């Protein structure tokens, strides 16, 4: 992958006696989509606010690598942010809000107006450009919020729960745009509780819990390290069940379906070889443990895997 755009090193944030973020370190590269995950109250928003320069860390360092320079202050004109607590000025017109927010990012009015129209057209909202925000549906407003966070072509985009409340069609639209942003060289930090979407989009994952790092690495590596394989079979002969195996950690029978979770590190092919040659298996599927399961186990305090 290409150059690092954001590096977070040993960052700590305390509120009174509570340590909300505890020695967190990670990096995001250009073109990378990093899934920043964690249960509610884990320290995600606090970390994101420090990255956005809204609050300052008590310890540690956040560095931005922009235009060949290293900066310790957030280059606010080069970052885009879609916070979880978001909205729009209800009584203002869509175009006015976009021009105001683009202006805060240093864009001149003419460029901002042209770019706003491009984005509104892409999201099918061209005819709402001069409508008041309060006339928009929730999904439309969310699109405008998304546009406001990326209108200035930021180098770093932080998206906190961008999919919440979106229908599947709009989810696909957002996914495509997020992929496009990364493909154009932006670094994307994506926080979401929709694990299926994170799995689809993210190259790497950072999982935070109680303010501390729990998992960090590429999605593949994490699943390889912590995610054992799951084998699911449709068995045609009544009463037949695969014999007990030391390779299996847990199993379950549900009618004609048999599912087993292999021990970590066990190759599925080794397990399949251990089955009798005449095993009455009609259908067979193989999958890694899902990110969802890893997340749930982590949130419940268990060790992932």
Partner 1 sequence: MKGLSHVFTWEVTRHLRNKQFLIGLLLTPLIFVAFGAIPTLLAYFDRPQQYEYLVVDELGVLDDLRAKLEGSRVALTPHSMDPDALREKVLADNVNGYFVLDRTFVEQGVLPIYVAKLQMRPDALDNALTDLLQEIRLAERSLDSEVLAYVTARPAFIPTTLDVKGENTIGNLPMAIGFSVLLFFLILGSGSMLFMSALQEKRDRMSEVVLSSIGPDALFAGKIAGHFFLGIVQVVVWLAIGLPVAYFLLDIPLGDYITPSLIPAYAVFTLLGYLLFAAIFVGMGGTMDSMETASNLQGMVFMLPALPFFVIGPIIGNPDGAIARFATLFPLTSPVVTILRSGFTVLRTWEWAVAAVLLLLTTAVIIKMAAKIFRVGMLMYGKNPDLRELIRWLRHA
Question: Which stretches of the chain bind partner 1, using CB under 8 A?
Answer: 16, 49, 52-55, 76-77, 79, 81-83, 85-92, 96, 100-101, 103-105, 145, 148-149
CB of 303 to partner 1, least distance (A): 33
Q: Which is nearer to partner 1, 45 or 298 (CB)?
A: 45
Provide the token pair at 232.
Answer: 């699911």
Q: Which is nearer to partner 1, 55 or 274 (CB)?
A: 55
Helix-, strand-, coil-residue percentages of the chain, each rounded to 5: 35, 30, 35
CB of 153 to partner 1, least distance (A): 14
CB of 164 to partner 1, least distance (A): 13
CB of 62 to partner 1, least distance (A): 14
C-alpha pair distances (Å), 272 with each of 52, 245, 287: 50, 11, 14
Q: Which is nearer to partner 1, 99 or 198 (CB)?
A: 99
Q: Which is nearer to partner 1, 110 or 273 (CB)?
A: 110
Provide the token pair at 14.
Answer: 């305390």
Q: Which is nearer to partner 1, 21 or 214 (CB)?
A: 21
CB of 172 to partner 1, least distance (A): 24
Q: Which is nearer to partner 1, 53 or 305 (CB)?
A: 53
Q: Which is nearer to partner 1, 145 or 192 (CB)?
A: 145
Sheet with 281-288, side-by-side order of all strands? 248-254, 257-262, 229-235, 281-288
**254 CB contacts (<8 Å, ≥6 apart)?**
none
- CB atoms inside a 10 Å sphere around CB 286: 14
Return the bridge partners of 208, or none.
Answer: 213
Sheet with 33-37, side-by-side order of all strands? 79-82, 156-160, 187-191, 33-37, 204-209, 212-218
CB of 5 to partner 1, least distance (A): 16
CB of 239 to partner 1, least distance (A): 57
CB of 105 to partner 1, least distance (A): 6
Q: Is 59 strand, coil or helix?
A: strand
Q: Is 86 strand, coil or helix?
A: coil
Q: What phi and psi values does residue 61 have, to the nearest 5 degrees?
A: -140, 140
- What is the residue whose two structure tokens read 């973020």? 21
Q: Where are the alpha helices (DSSP H) in the chain?
A: 44-51, 94-104, 109-122, 138-150, 168-183, 195-201, 219-226, 268-273, 291-299
Q: Which is nearer to partner 1, 36 or 295 (CB)?
A: 36
């Amino acid at each position: 992958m290409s150059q690092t755009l954001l590096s977070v090193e040993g960052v700590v944030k305390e509120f009174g006696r509570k340590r909300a973020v505890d020695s967190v370190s990670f990096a995001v590269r250009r073109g990378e989509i990093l899934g920043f995950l964690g249960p509610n109250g884990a320290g995600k928003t606090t970390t994101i606010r420090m990255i956005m320069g809204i609050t300052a860390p008590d310890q540690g360092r956040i560095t931005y690598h922009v235009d060949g320079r290293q900066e310790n202050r957030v280059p606010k004109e080069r970052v885009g942010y879609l916070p979880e607590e978001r909205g729009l000025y209800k009584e203002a017109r869509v175009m006015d809000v976009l021009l105001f927010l683009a202006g805060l990012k240093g864009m001149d009015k003419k460029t901002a107006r042209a770019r706003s129209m491009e984005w509104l057209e892409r999201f099918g909202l061209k005819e709402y450009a001069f409508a008041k925000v309060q006339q928009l549906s929730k999904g439309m407003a969310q699109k405008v919020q998304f546009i406001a966070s990326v209108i200035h072509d930021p180098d770093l985009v932080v998206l906190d729960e961008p999919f919440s409340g979106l229908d599947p069609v709009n989810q696909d639209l957002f996914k495509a745009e997020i992929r496009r942003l990364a493909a154009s060289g932006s670094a994307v930090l994506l926080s979401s509780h929709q694990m299926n979407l994170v799995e689809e989009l993210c190259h790497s994952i950072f999982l935070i819990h109680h303010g501390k790092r729990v998992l960090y690495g590429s999605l593949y590596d994490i699943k390889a390290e912590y995610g054992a394989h799951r084998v699911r079979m449709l068995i045609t002969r009544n009463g037949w069940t695969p014999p007990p195996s030391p390779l299996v950690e847990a199993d379950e029978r549900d009618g004609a379906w048999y599912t087993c979770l292999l021990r970590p590190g066990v190759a599925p092919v080794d397990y399949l070889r251990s089955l009798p040659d005449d095993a009455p298996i009609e259908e067979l599927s193989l999958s890694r443990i899902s990110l969802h399961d890893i997340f749930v186990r982590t949130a419940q305090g268990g060790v992932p895997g």
